Copies of this chain bind each other. A is one copy, B any other.
Amino acid sequence: MSLIAPTERGRELLERLQAFFDRHIFPNEALHEQQMQALRAAGNPWQPVPLVEALKPLARQAGLWNLFLPHAHKGEGGVSNFDYAPLCELMGRVIWSGEVFNCSAPDTGNMETLERYGTEAQKTRWLEPLLEGRIRSAFLMTEPAVASSDATNIECSIRRDGDDYVINGRKWFSSGAGHPKCEIFIVMGKTDPEAARHLQQSMILVPRDTPGVTVLRPLSVFGYDDAPHGHMEVLLENVRVPAENILLGEGRGFEIAQGRLGPGRIHHCMRSIGAAERALELMIDRLSARVAFGQPLSAQSIWHERIAESRCMIDQARLLTMNAAKMMDTVGNKGARAEIAMIKVVAPKVSCQVVDWAIQAHGAAGLSQDSWLSEMYAHQRTVRLVDGPDEVHRNAIAKLEIGRRARRG
């Protein structure tokens, strides 16, 4: 029995999700690709994918809806991080699958933010339709002009004007903002650039159709535009919203940013691990099927090394992430700060490496649209930058470590 043997509830949920994948997700991967290509060929890929829309009610019927919710809401969610993490690993095998279960970023983080920090009015207006999957959302944080990993660099201004706030700024890599159903933005900006370092920032709700909001263009990662969700550049020019749209209050933006990070990290990292696990399977299958210079590639010790290293790295990353999940469940986000920073560095690095080896095992095919690998590499490489680049997290881990040592010494 492994240290991460699931609880009874975790096991039951995973079996149910696995059954859903076996019936509805894995057999439909080609269909999803065809539908996206058809939308593209017809000139507009920024539309809901019919397959995904069709599967959502099935997922909800199967009790696989909103599982990410930390606290149960109308009988949905309320799953611990430890139990939910393996579900994310499975979802990580198919990039588009999370939305089927209303469990895809950035909506999960946004819903969690609204649930923790929103007023009742805000919840009624935005959280409910998000939980129903009727609308989608985006989180506008990163700015093209500054190193956004240092939150004090944020330039977007949120200025009080009577009963309103007026917002001006330019954001980009606003994931999900390309989706036609994306109706609400959570915007990070500064209400007081003169305040103490971590009290300058605020978060505010901005409906996408507010005058002054322009979704300029999709950014691509490597060559992928990730339609229909996309990573958008958004211009905010004198965008005026009622004062009650502020979240938690002026100057609380940094605090919310900290609070919303933990569970999302677990999700991201477990999806990375699922991706790595699938890449390893694909690697082995390919190596077993190809013969060169008289033997299957899988008989060569150079590939034994890579398979063994992949297995070691994946198992370690999973244990580290599951441990972070368990810590969050028991001592909370703050107590698990170091663990959460560590998985953010480790998991996407592992998945990048394993996917890259799998590409190498596939030859040129591994780079092409015929393979799941190239798109997954692009995705995992991106994860090493979103929510702060590796360097920022390594600095945080080191400072915690040095501090701990200083206190003991």
Cβ contact within 8 Å between A368 and B301: no
Interface residues of A, dominant DSSP: helix
Residues on B with C-beta less than 8 A from A377 are 222
Instruction: Please judge, given known A-B contacts A3-B322, A330-B1, A402-B284, whether A147 and B302 are in contact too, CB under 8 Å.
Output: no
Residues on B with C-beta less than 8 A from A378 are 222-223, 367
Residues on B with C-beta less than 8 A from A225 are 223
* Complex Cα–Cα for A330 and B308 (A): 24
Residues on B with C-beta less than 8 A from A280 are 401
A219 within 8 A of B: yes
A298 within 8 A of B: yes
A397 within 8 A of B: yes
Interface stretch of the complex, out of A51-59, A157-165, A286-294 = A286-294
Instruction: Please judge, given known A-B contacts A285-B409, A365-B144, A389-B363, whether A220 and B223 are in contact too, CB under 8 Å.
Output: yes
* Complex Cα–Cα for A381 and B359 (A): 10
Cβ contact within 8 Å between A394 and B327: no
Cβ contact within 8 Å between A391 and B301: yes
Residues on B with C-beta less than 8 A from A382 are 364, 367
Q: How large is the interface on A (under 10, 10 to 19, 20 to 34, 35 or more residues)?
A: 35 or more
Cβ contact within 8 Å between B2 and A326: yes
Chain A, residues 298-323, CB within 8 Å of chain B (1/0): the string is: 10111111011101100111011011
* Complex Cα–Cα for A366 and B142 (A): 14
Residues on B with C-beta less than 8 A from A124 are none
The contact of A2 among B281, B327, B385, by CB within 8 Å, is B327
The contact of A385 among B1, B153, B360, by CB within 8 Å, is B360
Cβ contact within 8 Å between A219 and B397: no
Cβ contact within 8 Å between A363 and B149: yes
Contact residues, A196-254 vs B (CB, 8 A): 219-225, 231
A406 within 8 A of B: yes
Contact residues, A394-409 vs B (CB, 8 A): 394-395, 397-399, 401-402, 405-406, 409
Q: Which residue of B lies closest to A298 (CB)?
A: B402
A194 within 8 A of B: no
> Could you list 19 A-B pairs, sorted by A, with CB under 8 Å?
A3-B3, A142-B363, A148-B363, A149-B292, A150-B292, A153-B291, A221-B368, A222-B374, A222-B375, A223-B374, A223-B375, A223-B378, A301-B303, A312-B342, A315-B323, A316-B317, A316-B346, A319-B319, A366-B385
